[in-house]
């Protein structure tokens, strides 16, 4: 059976009190609508229609060609929103998920269970429901004696008997697509808000003696729809716990999960240890047997097996096998470290390749450079890559030795096995196995220190 999905993402989200459009607010580093789109695609939805309105350009820019789009120019209710997809879907046979773009916690497993119940019973509609200890504010799901759904009653319309029902409507549905659009033509806006409600479709189908079912999610947190910053923080917390649990069950050790933040798209290998205060986000991939943290911030980086990252920031960087980084290092975009590399404290690497076995142990800057194998870069050495107008490249070949406090003024090349004496400022290339020294000759003046001090005292007394 063909599967389709309609994602409702046209609301403005005034209660967010934000310049950022509601469904683009991130949960664990990914916009909410991105979570929803990933979920519906994981249940084999062949067509995904996103209903956009406020912030339409921003939503389309983020999702790109991952979906089809329909504009809802006026927001006249959920039923009206789904109707906008009629030109694309009304003649399609199959099952259609309708889900809100601000429900990031709904899982593929839950959607698959919903759709299997729906399809195996040839239902006209199946409602995703949840059992809440405190259902106040939610529409109640009223079932018949046979367990089918009779109606959905909003909180304000509940009778005393209906008010005690704990099963609520999450706002996610699965419909027989042809019956959905047929029923939508019968929905009216004869209500206090003059809006067209999708929940009215349930009543229309029941009155037509169609089968309407309810599927209860095992995790009530999936019912959270994010309408304000409080709900956003709750969704973030639930998602963080879910992600942490998944990684730990896959063999990752987290010393303190409550103080460790992992993004939704992060991959981590088994036997890796994450220490407290660590933030891992974006499309980061971490190998096996690594030690990460404490207090490291890693974004969209690749870290190979057995690497160690301590108190450091990595931004779109690559770290090779058995390489150590930190403490207090900064790998900026384009930093690529080979195997058995050492990047020590207060070292910054930007847009540079450092090959196997090389060491930049402390207080150095390597920018726009290629560093060969087994190179030693001494304390305080830097590549001077920017002249105020252009970036230039430094090339250091294998087995070179760069002494402490050396300035390499790019563009410059240091040959294989070359030796640069500490304190030198190198402005010309150094050949293979050559030694370079470029510093002013030292001059000692006996007794001159006392003259300077006496002169300073006299000036002070005069003042």
What residue ranges do the domains of the chain occupy? 3-223, 249-436
Please give the pLDDT value at position 279: 98
- Please say if the pLDDT value at position 380 is more than 70: yes
Known binding residues for UDP-N-acetyl-alpha-D-glucosamine are 8-11, 22, 72, 77-78, 139, 154, 169, 227, 332, 350, 365, 376
Known binding residues for Mg(2+) are 102, 227
Please give the pLDDT value at position 353: 98
Q: What is the 3-state secondary structure (H, E, C) of the chain?
A: CCEEEEEEECCCCHHHCCCCCHHHCEECCEEHHHHHHHHHHHCCCCEEEEEEECEHHHHHHHHHHHCEEEECCCCCCHHHHHHCCHHHHCCCCCEEEEEECCCCCCCHHHHHHHHHHHHHCCCCEEEEEEECCCCCCCCEEEECCCCCEEEEECHHHCCHHHHCCCEEEEEEEEEEHHHHHHHHCCCCCCCCCCCCCCHHHHHHHHHCCCCEEEEECCCHHHHCCCCCHHHHHHHHHHHHHHHHHHHHHCCCEECCHHHCEECCCCEECCCCEECCCCEEECCCEECCCCEECCCCEEECCEECCCCEECCCEEECCEECCCCEECCCCEECCCCEECCCCEEEECCEEECCEECCCCEEEECCEEECEEECCCCEECCCCEEECECCCCECCEEECCCCEECCCCEEECCEEECCCCEECCCCEECCCECCCCEECCCCCCCCCCCHHHHHHHHHHHHHHHC
Known binding residues for acetyl-CoA are 385-386, 404, 422, 439
Please give the pLDDT value at position 131: 96
Q: Are 275 and 40 in contact (CB under 8 A)?
A: no
Confidence class for position 250, pLDDT limits 50, 70, 90:
very high
Mean pLDDT of 253-260: 97
Of the ranges 156-165, 268-277, 316-325, which one carries the lowest mean pLDDT score?
156-165
- Please say if the pLDDT value at position 155 is more than 90: no
- Please say if the pLDDT value at position 275 is more than 80: yes
Write down the mean pLDDT value for the chain: 96
**Which residue numbers are catalytic?**
362
Known binding residues are 8-11, 22, 72, 77-78, 102, 139, 154, 169, 227, 332, 350, 365, 376, 385-386, 404, 422, 439
Mean pLDDT of 431-447: 93
Please give the pLDDT value at position 190: 86
> In percent, how much of the chain has pLDDT > 90?
90
- Please say if the pLDDT value at position 125 is more than 90: yes
- Please say if the pLDDT value at position 372 is more than 90: yes
Please give the pLDDT value at position 54: 85
Mean pLDDT of 189-197: 86
Q: Which residue has the higher pLDDT, 463 or 89?
A: 89
Mean pLDDT of 72-95: 95
Per CATH, the homologous superfamily of domain 3-223 is: Spore Coat Polysaccharide Biosynthesis Protein SpsA; Chain A (3.90.550.10)
> In percent, how much of the chain has pLDDT > 70?
100
Q: Do domains 3-223 and 249-436 have the same CATH topology?
A: no
pTM of the complete model: 0.90
Mean pLDDT of 153-157: 86
Confidence class for position 331, pLDDT limits 50, 70, 90:
very high
> Was domain 249-436 assigned CATH 2.40.50.100?
no
- Please say if the pLDDT value at position 137 is more than 90: no
Please give the pLDDT value at position 164: 93
Please give the pLDDT value at position 463: 66
């Amino acid at each position: 059976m063909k599967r389709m999905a309609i994602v409702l993402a046209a609301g403005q989200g005034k209660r967010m009190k934000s310049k950022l459009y509601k469904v683009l607010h991130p949960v664990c580093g990914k916009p909410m609508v991105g979570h929803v789109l990933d979920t519906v695609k994981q249940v084999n939805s062949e067509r995904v229609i996103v209903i956009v309105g406020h912030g339409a350009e921003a939503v389309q820019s983020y999702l790109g060609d991952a979906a089809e789009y329909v504009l809802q120019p006026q927001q006249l209710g959920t039923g009206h929103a789904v109707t906008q997809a009629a030109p694309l879907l009304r003649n399609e046979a199959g099952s259609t998920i309708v889900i809100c773009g601000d429900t990031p916690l709904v899982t593929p497993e839950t959607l698959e269970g919903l759709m299997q119940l729906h399809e195996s019973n040839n239902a006209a509609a199946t409602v995703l429901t949840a059992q809440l200890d405190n259902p106040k504010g939610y529409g109640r799901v009223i079932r018949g004696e046979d367990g089918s759904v009779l109606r959905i009653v909003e909180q304000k319309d509940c009778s005393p008997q209906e008010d005690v029902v704990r099963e609520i409507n999450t706002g996610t549905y699965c419909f027989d697509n042809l019956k959905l659009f047929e029923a939508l033509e019968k929905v009216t806006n004869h209500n206090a808000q003059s809006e067209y409600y999708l929940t009215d479709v349930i009543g229309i189908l029941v009155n037509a003696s169609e089968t309407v079912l309810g599927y209860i999610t095992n995790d009530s947190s999936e019912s959270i729809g994010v309408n304000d910053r409080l709900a956003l923080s709750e969704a973030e917390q639930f998602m963080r716990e879910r992600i942490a649990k998944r990684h730990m069950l896959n063999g990752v050790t987290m010393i303190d999960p409550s103080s460790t933040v992992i993004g939704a798209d992060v991959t981590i290998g088994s036997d890796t240890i994450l220490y407290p205060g660590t933030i891992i986000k974006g499309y980061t991939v971490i190998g096996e047997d690594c030690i990460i943290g404490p207090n490291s911030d890693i974004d969209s980086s690749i870290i190979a097996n057995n690497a160690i990252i301590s108190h450091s920031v990595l931004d779109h960087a690559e770290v090779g096998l058995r390489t150590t980084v930190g403490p207090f290092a900064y790998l900026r975009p384009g930093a690529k470290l080979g195997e058995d590399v050492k990047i020590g404290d207060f070292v910054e690497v930007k847009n540079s390749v450092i090959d196997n076995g090389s060491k930049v142990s402390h207080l150095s800057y390597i920018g726009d450079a290629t560093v060969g194998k087994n190179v030693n870069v001494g304390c305080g050495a830097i590549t001077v890559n920017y002249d105020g107008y252009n970036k230039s490249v430094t090339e250091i070949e294998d087995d070179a030795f760069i002494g402490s406090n050396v300035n390499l003024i790019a563009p410059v090349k240091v040959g294989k096995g070359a030796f640069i004496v500490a304190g030198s400022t190198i402005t010309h290339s150094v050949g293979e196995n050559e030694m370079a020294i470029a510093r002013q000759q030292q001059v000692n003046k006996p007794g001159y220190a006392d003259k300077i001090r006496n002169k300073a005292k006299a000036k002070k007394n005069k003042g």
